[in-house]
Amino acid sequence: MGLRETKMERTRRFIAESAFDLFVAQGYDDTTIEQIAAAAEVGTRTLYRYYSTKEALVVSFVENGLDAAMDAFLAQPDETPLSEALYAVVDSVEQTIGANSARLLALYDIFDKTTGLRAGLADLCWSWRQRLAQEILRRENGTGDVLHAALTAASTMNVIEVVVQTWTASGGGVDVTDITRETLKLLHTKAIPFPSPAAP
């Protein structure tokens, strides 16, 4: 990796850090792009080359976590049963939370102080889920069913969302592992109360 790339990588990080600090200090809406650019010592035009959107500055943190989770999934060899591979995903999220708890709490504080940000987050989760469904399908290589892949990916995303949401709602007070365990247990026992539709 050349000098150029490392420098850009550093700039990229620094911009996100600066933005994060400003958002925490004075709120998302009351922070302008110009302020962030000034704090990160770049021009606004350059900032937009790193993050195409103001939203992206916040969402990127979550995105990194989800990317790690996806990598954890892809790292599982095709031989391992799907259930285990998916557990690796949840496990990765758990680890991310454990490793950045303070930062994440501040992040989610920004999110729920700024209703407009939810959309970006929801969208990120959505496209991540799409990606996962696609990878599940590819993994099962022809034998799989599109509906099944979609539902499985959605279920996985649900677990992640419920765990994260419960954790943040508790202010980081409860243990992530406990929540995860309980959520997975629920998923097996009684979480799906749909009846089969009446036969015609």
Chain residues in the site for DNA (CB under 7 A): 2-5, 7-8, 11, 31-34, 41-46, 48-50, 52-55
Stretch that binds a copy of itself, among 15-23, 27-35, 80-88, 103-111 (CB under 8 A): 80-88
114, 27 in Cβ contact below 8 A?
yes
With a CB cutoff of 8 Å and minimum separation 6, the contacts of 115 are none
**Is 190 among the residues that bind a copy of itself (CB under 8 A)?**
yes
Cα(23)–Cα(4) distance, integer angstroms:
29
Handedness of CA 20, 21, 22, 24 (dihedral sign): positive
Q: Judged by CB, which is closer to DNA: 48, or 182?
A: 48
Stretch that binds a copy of itself, among 17-25, 63-71, 96-104, 182-190 (CB under 8 A): 182-190
Residues between 148 and 167 with contacts to a copy of itself, criterion CB under 8 A: 148, 150-152, 154-156, 158-159, 161-162, 165-166
185 interacts with a copy of itself by CB under 8 A: yes
With beta carbons less than 8 A apart as the criterion, state whether 134 and 156 touch: no
Residue 44's binding partner out of a copy of itself, DNA, none, with CB under 5 to 8 Å set by partner kind: DNA
Interface positions, 90-129, toward a copy of itself (CB under 8 A): 90, 118-120, 122-123, 125-127
DSSP per-residue string spanning 22-44: HHHHH-STT--HHHHHHHTTS-H
For DNA, which is the closer residue by CB, 111 or 167? 111
Nearer to a copy of itself, 2 or 81 (CB): 81
Residue from the set 38, 39, 82, 110 that interacts with a copy of itself by CB under 8 A:
82
Name the residues that contact a copy of itself, by CB under 8 A. 81-84, 86-87, 90, 118-120, 122-123, 125-127, 145-148, 150-152, 154-156, 158-159, 161-162, 165-166, 179-188, 190-197
